[in-house]
Amino acid sequence: MIDFVFSAIQAVGPGIETEAARALYGILGATIGAGLAVIGAGMGIGRIGASATEAIARQPEAAATIQTAYIITAALIEGVALFALVIALIK
Residue 56 lies in a domain: yes
Question: Residue 73 belongs to a domain with what CATH number?
Answer: 1.20.20.10
Residue 55 lies in a domain: yes
Residue 67 lies in a domain: yes
So what's the pLDDT on residue 70? 95
Residue 78 belongs to domain spanning: 37-91
So what's the pLDDT on residue 14? 59
So what's the pLDDT on residue 72? 96
Residue 13 lies in a domain: no
Residue 71 lies in a domain: yes
So what's the pLDDT on residue 11? 64
Residue 89 lies in a domain: yes
Residue 53 lies in a domain: yes
Residue 15 lies in a domain: no
Instruction: Count Cβ atoms within 10 A of the Cβ of residue 46 and give its class: 0-12 exposed, 13-18 middle, 19 or more buried.
Output: exposed
Structural domain count, the chain? 1
- Ordered per-residue pLDDT tens for the chain, 91 residues: 666 666 666 666 556 667 777 778 888 888 888 899 999 999 999 999 999 999 999 999 999 999 999 999 999 999 999 998 888 888 6
